[in-house]
Amino acid sequence: MNAKLFRWTSILYACLIYLFLYIPILVLIAFSFNDSKLNIIWTGFTVKWYTTLFDSPEILNAFKVSLLLAVLNTIVAAMIGTLAAVGMYRYNFRGKSILDGLLYIPILIPEIVMGIALLALFTMLSIPTGFSTLLLSHVAFSIPFVVIVVRARLDGFDRSIEEAAMDLGANHWQTFTRVVLPIIMPGIASGALLAFTLSLDDVIISFFVSGPDSLTLPLKIFSMVKFGVTPTINALSTILLLLTLLLVLVTEYLNKKKVA
């Protein structure tokens, strides 16, 4: 009896947690189809807010900037983060523990502190804010996340596989590209996905290092929210949500396909 009560209590608790997490998202999606401009009363179903988005050149330009920024950041952060993770896992050198500790600083410090620090750095180096400063900043705070995810994958790596490949005549580069890389690819894909998501929805750091011609979509949404949350913002947020969800599903499918 106690075991049955505990089971149903656990199920109820889990359901409440999921409802708390996902009901706001479902409400946002639902009101993106609301015919009224006010997010208070449902007056009818419409898709006009989605067509309004594609008729706005400012929103389309912000979306292009965000998408290009996220893709470039993912590529650069994934490459640098993967090489750093493999190097720190494979080699022992003086100061490795200090470097390992410094890796967590961009993750632990508040984003507003990092944003101000990056702005001060670019100002000191006389680098004008724009797309280049946005890309450098996003890469800077994305690399630690990639390194941590890839290193977690490397912790279960069997070094004897490398030795077997080299015994069969493979050099270091062939061993890395044909043996190590395919094995840790799920970790790289997860780190790249995390870097893409972080770049796509960042607001605070982008606020400090973006220029007038490099407005990202989250910053555009933030500026629109100042005048109130409208169905247009809900529609824009829904598109971002679906884009991220689609990317997660594709990555998960590719990972399962590699395992199979």
Q: What residue ranges define each of the domains in the chain, with the CATH number in brackets?
A: 56-257 (1.10.3720.10)
pLDDT at position 244 is 78
- Helices and strands of the chain, counted as H and E runs: 13, 0
Distance of CA 126 to the CA centre of its chain: 29
Distance CA 257, CA 239 (A): 27
State whether residue 190 is helix, strand or coil.
Answer: helix
Distance CA 187, CA 92 (A): 22
pTM over 0.75: yes
Choose among 198, 104, 178, 187: nearest CA to 152: 187
Q: What is the pLDDT of residues 161-179, one digit of tens each?
A: 777 877 777 777 877 778 7
Distance CA 251, CA 165 (A): 28
Mean pLDDT of 150-155: 83
Q: What is the pLDDT of residues 30-82, one digit of tens each?
A: 888 888 777 677 788 888 888 888 788 888 888 888 889 999 999 999 999 99
pLDDT at position 193 is 86
